């Protein structure tokens, strides 16, 4: 038991990250294929309408998400370490209720947004309702708690298999849509199937690999979960606010570009943004892989091990970001031509700017979970607020002047500011 619950190590981070990359590696290749199918067959305007819908759905999901997987890992580790499996199960039930509550609120927000913004985004008649249905599916196929349960019990490999269902389903669906006649509703249907099948795969994985890890939520269990996990409401709201300020704000940029430059401009921005998400996914996976080990190291009280883990992870993240940025600079233009064709070759400057922003985010992805693991979520929120204010302030100045390129420059500036803030806060904390 002592060996199992020793402090986190960089080797364990690599093992966890390896499982995540195994699931995402296939997905990254397939995502380039189905992205190319959508961009080439729908054309600039159709692809722009498609990306506005998917970006809007992801923005709403980010605004109402509680990142319950972090709550499960953060508060579940002490319960498992002390042999309190029942308390860990009640914690998972509490997190599931948070997911469902946020999803219902998100459905109301989405319906209101479609009613207010549908005409401004210049969607064809009926497409707004297709987008609303897609958003409902994104919100209601909750799986963050299932992700947390698998990571709490060190089942990263199982989670990677479930995660791979999304790109495989989207790829198969995109091929079917192209064969039957490409259309925005058809691609939305393929994306919808991916979300549903992935959620089913995650919950089946939880039931099969860690039976008893979930307790059916009722009033008594939820009340006990709050009593057994001191500060859980505060931590939950802070993780929600952090996601809103980070992912929600960046997805909102796509909608603002659509309002300012129309669907074609939004499609160009989204294509560059989507390609740089290969780097952003690595940062997200690095954050998720290291968070569990940082939480273990901090719970074990090994200050030097904790500090050494952070410093080594930052060095590796910086090197990885540099390598991937060089790849984007060298191969970015041919990749754009291959995926989108001649209509998207002018998107290369956006790709470089957003790629550099993603490289900064990769380094930030080490500092943020370190601060959360140390219980300094308030500092994370303060840094996010400042970065978010800078994003929209610069966007308000640059977007009217330079359009989509101004939006990319605003995202780059915001990512650089966030890195400085997170790095400074982490350095002060680990000293």
Q: Is the pLDDT of residue 334 over 50?
A: yes
The distance between the two most distant Cα atoms of the chain, rounded to a whole number of Å, is 62
pLDDT value of residue 389: 93
Band of residue 4 on the pLDDT scale cut at 50, 70, 90: very low
Q: Is residue 4 assigned to a domain? A: no
Asked whether the CA dihedral 395, 325, 281, 187 is positive or negative, the reply is positive
Task: Tell me which DSSP letter residue 8 carries.
Answer: P
pTM for this predicted structure:
0.80
Q: Is residue 5 assigned to a domain? A: no
Q: Is the pLDDT of residue 71 over 60?
A: yes
Express each pLDDT in 145-181 by its tens digit. Answer: 999 999 888 887 788 788 889 999 999 999 999 999 9
Helices (H) and strands (E) in the chain, counts: 15, 0
Q: Is residue 2 assigned to a domain? A: no
Between 17-21, 257-261, 268-272, 396-400, the lowest mean confidence (pLDDT) is in: 17-21
Task: Tell me which DSSP letter residue 246 carries.
Answer: I
Q: What average pLDDT score do residues 399-412 get?
A: 92
Q: Which domain holds residue 117?
A: 10-430
Q: Is the pLDDT of residue 119 over 70?
A: no
Express each pLDDT in 294-314 by its tens digit. Answer: 666 666 656 676 677 777 777
Express each pLDDT in 181-220 by its tens digit. Answer: 999 999 999 999 999 999 999 999 999 988 888 877 788 8
Q: Is the pLDDT of residue 282 over 70?
A: no
pLDDT value of residue 187: 96
Q: Is residue 187 assigned to a domain? A: yes
Q: Is residue 1 assigned to a domain? A: no
Q: Is the pLDDT of residue 2 over 60?
A: no
Task: Output 81-90 pairs: Cβ under 8 A, ≥24 positions apart.
Answer: 81/5, 81/299, 85/212, 85/213, 86/215, 87/224, 87/225, 87/228, 88/152, 88/213, 89/212, 89/213, 89/214, 89/215, 90/215, 90/221, 90/222, 90/224, 90/225, 90/228
Please choose, from the candidates 348, 53, 21, the residue with its C-alpha nearest in 3D space to the C-alpha of residue 164: 21
Distance in angstroms (rounded) separating the CA atoms of residues 242 and 369: 11
In the chain, the number of structural domains is 1
């Amino acid at each position: 038991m002592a060996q199992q619950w020793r402090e986190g190590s960089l080797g364990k981070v690599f093992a966890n990250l390896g499982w995540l990359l195994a699931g995402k590696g296939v997905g990254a290749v397939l995502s380039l294929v189905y992205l190319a199918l959508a961009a080439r067959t729908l054309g600039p305007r159709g692809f722009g309408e498609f990306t506005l819908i998917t970006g809007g759905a992801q923005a709403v999901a980010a605004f109402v998400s509680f990142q319950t997987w972090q709550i499960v890992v953060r508060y579940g580790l002490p319960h498992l370490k002390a042999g309190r499996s029942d308390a860990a199960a009640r914690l998972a039930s509490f997190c599931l209720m948070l997911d469902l509550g946020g999803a219902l609120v998100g459905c109301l927000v989405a319906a209101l947004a479609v009613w207010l913004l549908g005409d401004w985004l210049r969607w064809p008649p009926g497409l707004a309702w297709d987008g609303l249905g897609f958003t409902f599916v994104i919100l209601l196929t909750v799986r963050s708690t299932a992700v947390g349960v698998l990571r709490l019990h060190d089942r990263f490999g199982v989670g990677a298999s479930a995660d791979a269902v999304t790109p495989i389903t989207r790829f198969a669906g995109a091929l079917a849509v192209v064969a039957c006649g490409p259309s925005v509703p058809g691609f939305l249907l393929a994306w919808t199937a991916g979300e549903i099948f992935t959620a089913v795969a995650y919950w089946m994985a939880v039931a099969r690999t860690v039976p008893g890890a979930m307790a059916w939520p009722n009033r008594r269990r939820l009340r006990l979960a709050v009593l057994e996990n001191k500060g859980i409401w505060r931590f939950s709201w802070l993780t929600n606010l952090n996601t809103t300020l980070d992912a929600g704000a960046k997805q909102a940029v796509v909608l603002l570009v659509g309002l300012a430059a129309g669907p074609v401009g939004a499609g160009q921005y989204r294509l560059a943004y989507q390609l740089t998400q290969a780097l952003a996914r690595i940062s997200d996976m690095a954050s998720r892989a290291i968070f569990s080990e940082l939480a273990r190291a901090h719970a074990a009280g090994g200050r030097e091990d904790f500090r050494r883990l952070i410093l080594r992870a930052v060095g590796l993240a910086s090197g990885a970001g540099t390598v991937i940025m060089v790849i984007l600079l060298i191969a970015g233009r041919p990749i754009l031509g291959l995926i989108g064709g001649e209509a998207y070759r002018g998107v290369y400057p956006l790709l470089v700017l957003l790629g550099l922003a993603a490289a900064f985010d990769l380094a930030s992805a080490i500092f943020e979970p370190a601060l959360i693991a140390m219980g300094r979520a308030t500092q994370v929120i303060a840094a996010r607020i400042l970065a978010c204010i800078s994003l929209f302030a610069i966007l308000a100045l640059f977007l009217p002047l330079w359009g989509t390129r101004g939006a990319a420059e605003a995202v780059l500036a915001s990512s650089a500011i966030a890195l400085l803030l997170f790095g400074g806060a982490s350095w002060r904390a680990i000293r």
